[in-house]
Amino acid sequence: MSTEVRVPQLPESVADATLVAWHKKAGDPVTRDENLADLETDKVVLELPAPVTGVLKTLKKEPGATVGSGELLAIIDEAAAAAAAVAPAKKPAAAPAKPAAARPAPVRKEDPAGKLSPAARRLVEENRLAAADISGTGRDGRISKGDVTQHLDSTRPAPGAGGTRVDRRVPMSRLRARIAERLVQAQKTQALLTTFNEIDMQALSAIRARYKESFEQRHAVRLGFMSFFVKACIEALRRFPVVNASVEGSDIVYHEYFDIGVAVSTERGLIVPILRDVERMGFAELEKGIAGFAERARNGTITLDDLTGGTFSITNGGVFGSLLSTPIVNAPQSAILGMHRIQPRPVAVAGQVEVRPMMYVALSYDHRIIDGRDAVQFLVVVKEVLEDPARLLLQV
């Protein structure tokens, strides 16, 4: 009996996928739910599990092929696996052999290619590298894209060495190409404008320092600044609902819920997972959700559903040292908040100059529906709430 392996149903927002690599070749035995191949979409890398146990009879698509929902990729022969299991039982019993001297069991060498992340595998194939030559820094020696890039840098001759000038050309990944497309589209279709403010982080830093240990002990998750910013944004979005709205044709759609996207940097590029109904979440739930997204983004297990939707986004360039930036709105949303590096600066406090931990914040917004007054006052609310965190409790 033969079973067809087809591309799983892709969401409406994803038109097709790229077959990145096969993990099995024709003639190999496979077990049910074993990963056969990696499919890269505009947003995530999907695993293609084997639907049945059997032998991989034929491969219908080569790596690099663009495939759509339901397209035939391979055929698994279940009968071949059943025959292989029955065959040993029909062999005549062998005469008892003389006991042989004990030999040490052969050590099975693990295939280095099996430790490649999908992004690293693609880079290895593009540059015709041997996985065995690359040192993996991930868990159990897993090789990341960063490991491959570092290997390339270490083996590439220095600029001008030996009089050789080399250009290296590699195709964009689907995610990078999609990011480029969406950013250009946002700038073409939206009237983007950015307004700035600064936040005195002293009170917030004091609260975090005072409670971070007990918070982590009780909730088994670290207390960061992002959960405070999410809470502050919810308070500001309640007061200025147009910032939580989007444009559809000639209509403004006001969302009566708060699904907040939190930008996460991965080795494949920037992705924005969505925290759903954050107005119902406590600080611990928010921190666990954010940490969970970051972990799944790093190990490649984040799903398309995690990246779909969203009414407002937050991005934190400060973790990379950014002091100030103008983030681009994640369309079809209408606004995004940019956090930045916390830096001690002299500021005037009650007529005196004091050094305080300050952060610049930026709100980029679609000026077609959000007036400058609303955008500025939105940031003022975020500033007031974070500089006096008791407002989060009292909602004032």
**48 within 8 A of 8, measured Cβ to Cβ:** yes
Question: Does 200 participate in catalysis according to the annotation?
Answer: no
What's the CA gap between 16 and 162, in Å, rounded?
A: 45
Record the tokens describing residue 362, joined without a space. 């930026």
In the set 133, 277, 305, 371, the catalytic residue is 371
- In 3D space, the residue among 122, 4, 7, 12 whose CA is nearest the CA of residue 66 turns out to be 7
- In 3D space, the residue among 207, 205, 222, 210 whose CA is nearest the CA of residue 284 turns out to be 222
Place of tokens 């005469």: 95
Question: Does 371 participate in catalysis according to the annotation?
Answer: yes
In the set 219, 255, 367, 388, the catalytic residue is 367
**Element of type H or E holding 354:** strand 352-366
Going by their DSSP bridges, the two strands 312-316 and 335-339 should be labelled as parallel
What's the CA gap between 1 and 54, in Å, rounded?
A: 10
* Residue 348 one-letter amino acid: A
**At a CB cut-off of 8 Å and minimum separation 6, what does 189 contact?**
331
- In 3D space, the residue among 262, 172, 170 whose CA is nearest the CA of residue 225 turns out to be 262
**50 within 8 A of 5, measured Cβ to Cβ:** yes
Going by their DSSP bridges, the two strands 312-316 and 260-262 should be labelled as parallel
Active site residues: 367, 371
